[in-house]
Amino acid sequence: MIILSLIFLIFILISIFLSSAKNKNIDDYMQDMQKQLQDELKIIK
């Protein structure tokens, strides 16, 4: 379960990085990453 969530988290980070590289909105990128990391931590707990 933890391994699956880590793989999912890595996939999210890669997708966010690619989309942010296109948009170059670093602030939006950081906010989205924080929100998704918080959601992942809730799922793991």
Q: Could you read off the pLDDT of 7-22 as tens digits, one per residue?
A: 888 998 888 777 766 6
Q: Domain count of the chain?
A: 1
6-to-14, 18, 27, 42, 45 alpha-carbon distances in Å: 12, 18, 24, 13, 13
Name the average pLDDT for the chain.
Answer: 78
What's the pLDDT score for residue 21?
A: 61
What's the pLDDT score for residue 18?
A: 76
Q: Residue 40 sits in which domain range? A: 2-44
Task: Please state which of the ranges 4-8, 21-25, 29-33 shows the lowest mean pLDDT.
Answer: 21-25
Q: Enter the pTM of the model.
A: 0.43
28-to-3, 21, 43 alpha-carbon distances in Å: 27, 11, 23
